[in-house]
Amino acid sequence: MSRPVVTWFANNHEHSLHYAKFGLMAMARAGEIRFLECPNATASADLLPEAVRCHQHRRTVAVRITHGASSRLVILDGEDSIFQTSPLIEHCDLYFSCSYRRKFFEGAPFDLTLPWQTDCELAHYQKKYTDLQNQFGTHLCKGRAFVPIGPNLEWERPNGFFKAKTLALRHRLSQLRAPWIDWGVQCDRFERRWAHLHTLRSQQPVHDVVLKDSLWGWPRHRVALHRQLAELSADFSIRAELHYRVAAPCELGTQPAPDPADFPMITGGGVAGDYESLLAASRLGVFATGFHYGCRNIVTLSWFLGLRTLVDPPSFEAIYDFTEVGARPHISGSWAELPAELHAAREETPDTRRARQQRFDEVASPSRAARHLIAQALA
């Protein structure tokens, strides 16, 4: 039987979707599919409609999945927010969102209030929600659940002389194959990065919490988290940093803008050194994920590492249950759960952490994301 053919239309802002791309590449190397890659802007008209070829991508990518007589164009949305839903939804067969929320895509009214939010903080998002539903109308039924933004995979240490020469030769050879890209070079980088991430899983816990943060999204909520961490640092090993960022008016509500003089907020000496290694050597991940109602790659990295995590109540869905991989919802609105979560994290055994890692590999791996994408597209 013929293999499905997956064509990835590369662009310069697809990094938040490399997790799924890596899964597709792995499937291709295992002989399960045929994977092709070409630049989005130079794709032929029979593969991509003009509106997609000319689109300025922002955390989106077009993928065509073909098997027999079936050929479907899908858009992968790597934003952490349904409020960034792309007009590309109008030009595809299916739209896979890393911040999928069923009610939004089914046309239900806004119901995203988090425990600590005021009406003023919600007003901008309520209007944006309704405007997007009105704008995209009947196209919203194309929305599909996917996986959250995965750990960063485009990472590489400096190349040696001979490796650089080899890569340069492969690049020149790939130009002869235009418009097709030699995707093996990037896949090799992904595999080395993935192997490095697996080594972090063996780190022994040294700290209770390590958090390197910036002041984006509803500042008072993030400041409240760091103040609570500072208070608890007398009894727990906590290293945290919160850096200043200019807040947009819609993030402030009626609250005054933060004073730059108050930042950075440093607890326990801050976070010096390799953040990922320090995170791997901690017991509890704590993240103010409420802004934009999604989560970013540092959260999924924590789940990959097997950390117990305290996050704002997830208001988006994925192809797996977040509680399976360690997520604990913060529902008090004041981070009052933190002391109990810190004590619980200290009591966990290494086997508990390893079990979460194993469950992550079963339900949330790159290959699982890729297989789900293909199955849905060909259903």
Instruction: Give percent of the chain with pLDDT exceeding 90.
Output: 83
pLDDT surpassing 80 at residue 311? yes
Backbone torsions φ then ψ of 62, nearest 5 degrees: -95, 140
Predicted pLDDT at 166: 53
Predicted pLDDT at 278: 97
47-71 mean pLDDT = 96
| Close Cβ partners of 103 (under 8 Å, ≥ 6 residues apart) | 111
Among 312, 315, 311, 328, which Cα is nearest to 112's? 315
25-33 mean pLDDT = 98
pLDDT surpassing 70 at residue 170? no
272-289 mean pLDDT = 95
* Higher pLDDT pick, 220 / 370: 370
pLDDT surpassing 50 at residue 95? yes
Predicted pLDDT at 158: 55
Q: Which CATH class is domain 209-363?
A: alpha beta
332-356 mean pLDDT = 96
pLDDT surpassing 60 at residue 167? no
SS (H, E, C) 31-64: CCCEEEEEEHHHCCCCCCCHHHHCCCCCCEEEEE
**Mean residue pLDDT across the chain:** 92
Predicted pLDDT at 162: 47
pLDDT surpassing 90 at residue 173? no
Quickly count: other Cβ atoms within 10 Å of residue 78's Cβ.
Answer: 27
What dihedral angle (degrees, nearest 10) is formed by the CA atoms of 15, 17, 19, 21? -100
Cα gap 95→336, rounded to integer Å: 38
Q: Which helix (H) or strand (E) holds 9?
A: strand 5-10
254-267 mean pLDDT = 94
Q: Which helix (H) or strand (E) holds 282?
A: none
Amino acid at 2: S
Among 198, 91, 220, 76, which Cα is nearest to 148's? 76
Confidence label for 129 from pLDDT (cuts 50, 70 and 90): very high
Predicted pLDDT at 296: 85
Confidence label for 1 from pLDDT (cuts 50, 70 and 90): low
Predicted pLDDT at 178: 59
* CATH 3.40.50 domain span(s) along the chain: 209-363
276-288 mean pLDDT = 97
Predicted pLDDT at 160: 53
